[in-house]
Amino acid sequence: VRGKADPGLWEALLEYGLDTVADGIHVVDAQGHTVLYNSATARMEGLRPEEVVGKHLLEVFPSLNDETSTLLTVLRTGKPILERQQTYASFKGRKITTVNSSVPLTFKGRVVGAMEIVRDITRVVEMSERIVDLQSRLAPRGPGRERSPGSWATYSLEDIVTVNPAMKRLKSVTLRAARSDAPVIVYGETGTGKELFAHSLHNSGPRMGAPFVAQNCSAIPATLLESILFGTVKGSFTGAQDRRGLFELADGGTLFLDEINSMPLDLQPKILRVLQDGNVRRVGDLDVRPVNVRVIASTNLDPMEAVRKKSLREDLYYRIAVISLRIPPLRERRDDIPSLAGHFVAKYNKSHEFQVRGVRPGVLDLFQRYPWPGNVRELEHAIEGAMSIMDGEFIEIHDLPPPLLVFSMKPAGAMDNPKKPLHESLRELERGILQETLRRCQGNISRAARALGVPRQTLQSKIKRLGM
Ligand SMILES: Nc1ncnc2c1ncn2[C@@H]1O[C@H](COP(=O)(O)OP(=O)(O)O)[C@@H](O)[C@H]1O
Ligand SMILES: [Mg+2]
């Protein structure tokens, strides 16, 4: 809705306003001559607006034609083209890739021009090409390929440390599931060991010598993820090359689609199609190619929840959840904490040549109470971090990272009773912090004051005031 304003305001908006937005805006008249070309577009395309405005599009972009230019196509058809990926060489020969949306501009039922909104994804495309190249170098290939440390599935079932009955059952289910080719979904909170299970599935079955290719599906735009997964053929969009995608790379082996609920919804049916007929179609290809790939998918929330939240299509869910493994969070299997802690102490003693003998009982108590939002990964990093800064033989509470330290200082109950006045909760919290610091400093008030960053007198008066 446009309000009433001085006509000069609209002029100023065109002049300055459109130049401050980050997306490129490019407007052509009904004949295809540029009438507006903002600075974002100029920056992306490496041109100056003076070189473009007033000229016909094909004069400035000689690598485009009536068919491949979205602006000219929109002028011709009068229909918008949304989220189209384009790679082209600019007038000066710089190769850029953009995601464009072009809409016709109509006035009294007549197409009077077209506008394009341009987002530069050149860097992301370069990255996606690097991803496929790297994966293809890491994946083993050819007959007689050996499992080398560079091949992808590095973990197997023996690497999953557990004494918990539910986890042990999960390991034996994994062993049996490894014999089949059915798709699997592995779900659990971050850091519970989903990747470990995906590797183990691959390495416990007949595909163990074949490639294991993993791709995280989050944070990659739909158009790119599609060419990463399915590959491209020359000419599918300007600048596209004949390239294999990850499905073809994983042929004979396993493709691990990590965080599949972050995969754009319009791409999900294409995964479903491969699972149903075993063929992939490279982007822009007329033909399909058969692939023999086992798909393992992961989600960090209950997949039914993902379906309800519309981040996972229901039909795809039923197809990939033929076998479904739920990895419980660490707080649901606290019996695993001591053995995992011991395992990680041994692991870092070996790799970093430390001589740590273990963790203090007080630390284990703390571990048993702490909620572990980052699960096993958080435990592993807490231990690695402590081992890197400690000087004793046993890990102490004060060697632990801040979330655990803060949790250890939280006096039981202070946070749980909302009816308590704030100043009382704060007193308790302060008392807990002082007690813990004094304990660490063996009762030496000067050292504790330094550790807390307060003058000695302040600490002394606080101790008195808190009745410690
Ligand atoms: N049961 C376990 N035994 C040994 N290490 C584990 C176990 N579970 C997780 N880890 C370790 O914790 C880290 C996180 O595991 P990962 O499989 O990447 O979690 P997720 O994929 O669920 O986020 C990895 O370094 C992994 O080796
Ligand atoms: Mg993971």
Q: pTM to 2 decimals?
A: 0.67
Tokens of 121: 């994804």
Q: How far apart are CA 157 and CA 209, in angstroms?
A: 16
Q: Which among 140, 129, 134 has a CA at the least distance from the CA of 87?
A: 129
Q: How far is the CA of 337 from the centre of ligand 2 (A)?
A: 20
Nearest CA to ligand 1 atom 8: 193
CA distances from 45 to 52, 67, 129, 190 (A): 11, 20, 21, 40
Nearest CA to ligand 1 atom 15: 193
Q: How far is the CA of 108 from the centre of ligand 2 (A)?
A: 55
Nearest CA to ligand 1 atom 5: 160
Tokens of 46: 């490496």
Classify residue 368 as left (phi > 0), alpha (psi -120 to 50) or beta: alpha
Q: How far apart are CA 468 and CA 459, in angstroms?
A: 11
Q: 134 pLDDT exceeds 50?
A: yes
Tokens of 257: 């689609």
Q: How far apart are CA 159 and CA 154, in angstroms?
A: 10
Query: How would residue 12 be classed by pLDDT, with cut points 50, 70 and 90?
Result: confident
List ligand 1's pocket residues with C-beta within 6 A: 160-162, 188, 190-196, 343, 376-377, 380
Nearest ligand by distance to the CA of 188: 1
pLDDT in tens, 352-363: 999 999 999 999
Q: What is the reported pLDDT for 224?
A: 82
Pocket test for ligand 1, best of 169, 190, 196, 375 (most atoms within 8 A of CB): 196
Query: How would residue 149 be classed by pLDDT, with cut points 50, 70 and 90?
Result: very low
Q: How far is the CA of 145 from the centre of ligand 1 (A)?
A: 27
Q: How far is the CA of 194 from the centre of ligand 2 (A)?
A: 6
Mean pLDDT value of segment 92-117: 85
Quick count: other Cβ atoms within 10 Å of Cβ 202? 26
Residue 103 · residue 80 · CB < 8 Å: yes
Q: Which residues are CB-neighbours of 158 under 8 A, at least 6 positions away? A: none
Mean pLDDT value of segment 221-242: 76
Percentage helix, strand, coil for the chain under 3-state DSSP, each rounded to 5: 45, 20, 35
The mean-pLDDT minimum among 122-126, 197-201, 360-364, 372-376 falls in 122-126
Q: What is the reported pLDDT for 189?
A: 96
Nearest ligand by distance to the CA of 330: 1
Q: How far is the CA of 191 from the centre of ligand 1 (A)?
A: 6
Who has greater pLDDT, 433 or 298?
A: 298
Q: 324 pLDDT exceeds 60?
A: yes
Q: 123 pLDDT exceeds 60?
A: yes
Measured in degrees and rounded to the nearest 5, phi and psi for residue 75 equal -60, -40
- Ligand 1 atom nearest residue 196's Cα: 17
Q: Which residues are CB-neighbours of 403 under 8 A, at least 6 positions away? A: 378
- Using the structure block, give the residue that is written with the tokens 């473009």: 52
Q: What is the reported pLDDT for 150?
A: 37
Nearest ligand by distance to the CA of 199: 1
pLDDT in tens, 15-50: 788 888 878 999 999 999 999 999 888 887 778 889
Classify residue 191 as left (phi > 0), alpha (psi -120 to 50) or beta: left
pLDDT in tens, 390-445: 988 999 999 999 889 889 887 665 455 556 677 777 787 788 788 888 888 888 99
Q: What is the reported pLDDT for 17?
A: 80
